A and B are shown apart, each in its own frame.
Chain A
């Protein structure tokens, strides 16, 4: 190892997300205020669905009581199985397909959605055992699901989403609106 001058700072290098992923956002999901989702798209087109840092679950010192991947009587995301390179058998999701319902300790319930079209590869089972991951590391270990868009749709699926910059604008407008009496 040579030619490297490590800096003594915590943020000397871009993170794994910065290196390999592009952040996309969907704000006020299904018209519900601040229920923002963040989609991390890998350069290989794969998408990781996460909670945006502005999501109500992550605000005001909330705690998660339970996470339920059983989205209806007949369908549980936990029973999703994919096999082979072509990921046969994975559930195919559209933008508004629910992934799970999260109940906070204050009994508020939130639904997390796919936000993009694609084949469900896996949901994060670690957050069932350790729900605090969702709060502590929402962008990495607290991810919700991994979705593989169709090859031909790998570019178009993010067209309806906001870029990081657009998202920041939306968030700052929100702040301004809140501070102004209506």
Chain B
């Protein structure tokens, strides 16, 4: 039994005559019982017809119904509108003209409002097809959300139909609002979600899920339905390079809110015209929300850029840190693409070290004296994996993935590989300016040096540099003088022209420029301190002191 009230009867009559499908009739009667929509549409139609026939017999007892009026509608001869638009004539299709008794036995015509979406396009065959399309894409998921994209002209047809029954409703003095009508989308989901989920082995259906199954319908035959709105409400339809058509659903809805009933009816028939064909379903689009993976990497090679290096459209160097890490990760998560980010970046010829031995030492120092000594090795990085077909890897699988990366190349090494949240990723970028970094540089001096000549370097603490944007990067960064602090340094004599310089600096310090001076544009620089020309031959990042992502015990 459908949850219908006496006051729905005239509406049902008018809508059925206008060529609405039974489920659209339920929508306009604001039936919010989801189960009602899941009945076969022929059965719903039978019930509706029975319900309104019942009205006729009880006419005298129903004070709010007007018998004369109802009878004329049941006969399916809609009254000619007072001011008929020229197109109105075409409306008199056999389907809407036919007496209801005949309609219910015949193959139902395409609904003038939903264009078939709540008819054959939401039957069990359709559900199976959607499920098959999802299965074919081989995602791993345990819940899904169905998203429905409908042609924008459906809003126009809905509005036209609303005006059609609104007129009727007003005559009866009933309170009835457009917002109370059940949306086509909603009804479609009520009917389909359960069926699709069942076909997929009983996954949960939520209004929010990481996995979205997108169902799209188009109806080229009636695309022109929207066009009159552009001349009536030009403000709503501004050209947008990103959109194929200006007639987006949003724009159409906005225009329909602005347009007066009179103007609408001048340009568009009410009820809408009978369509020839129903909507055509488009390919099912599946999308899983991004998964984020973080870790730390070492780079052991002086000819490996962090990201692909392209100059004048030509690739320099055959690989990159990003690609070496991404390839195994992408295949493990079966993702479509990725975005790589890291806590700073090293130059192509700079290594990022921090080896396992130091790691063990750091952990044992934690054990022995109970102090929280954190030594983080390698450079923190994070990757957003786009549309992953697999989104869950357990600890063992992540460890395996890390090993796969590490076995694939001896140029890099990854540790602490883990799945993180999108929010946690911001930890990496936070405090990027405050963090400190440790480096070792191989320095050349023009004048011959002795051990004692460089000993004073160890005593320098918190040396503030005035660094003009290095010439090396000045073509792409603003010219400025930046103040950066070298917290401490230590010098280790190698021979009369070389020594190792260890530095602990504020993030953003340009080490190479500090050593060679950058044409005197970094002051003070090492060459000034040593009173001889100095140059940097090699540079290694020893540590990036960011406490994210958390260390994972080996």
Contact = CB atoms under 8 A, between A and B. Distances in A.
Given A83-B478, A85-B478, A141 B500 contact: no
A101 interface: no
A4 B494 CA distance: 11
A157 to B, nearest CB: 14
Contacts of A146: 471, 474
Contacts of A133: 520
Contact of A141 (B476, B478, B496, B520): B520
A48 B500 contact: no
A42 B535 contact: no
Dominant secondary structure at the A interface: loop
Contact of B472 (A6, A20, A137, A148): A20
Interface stretch (A10-18, A105-113, A165-173): A10-18
Interface in B497-547: 497-498, 500, 516-517, 519-520, 535, 537-538, 540
A12 B494 CA distance: 14
Contact of A46 (B475, B495, B498, B517): B475
Contact of B478 (A9, A84, A122, A143): A84
Contacts of A16: 516, 535
Interface string A81-92: 011110100000
Contact of A8 (B497, B517, B520, B538): B497
A60 to B, nearest CB: 25
B440 interface: yes
A94 interface: no
B442 interface: yes
A85 B478 CA distance: 4
Nearest to B540: A1
With most chain B CB atoms within 10 A of its CB, the pick from A42, A87, A141 is: A141
Contacts of B500: 1
Interface string B441-481: 01010101000000000000000000010011111111100
Interface residues of B, number: 29
Interface in A1-58: 1, 4, 6-10, 12-13, 15-16, 20, 42, 44-46, 48
A15 B444 CA distance: 10
A140 B518 CA distance: 8
Contacts of A121: 474, 479
Contacts of A156: none
A44 B444 CA distance: 25
A21 to B, nearest CB: 9
Contacts of B516: 16
A144 B207 CA distance: 66
B495 A8 contact: yes
Contacts of B479: 82, 87, 121-122
Contacts of B468: 122
Contact of B517 (A20, A82, A141): A141
A126 interface: yes
A148 B471 CA distance: 10
Contact of B477 (A20, A83, A85): A85
Interface string A132-147: 0100010011010010
Contacts of A7: 497
17 contacts: A1-B538, A1-B540, A8-B496, A12-B444, A13-B537, A16-B535, A42-B475, A45-B475, A85-B477, A121-B474, A122-B479, A137-B520, A140-B517, A140-B520, A141-B517, A146-B471, A148-B474
Q: Which 10 A-B pairs have the closest CB atoms?
A: A141-B520, A6-B498, A44-B475, A16-B516, A140-B519, A46-B475, A84-B478, A143-B519, A82-B479, A126-B520
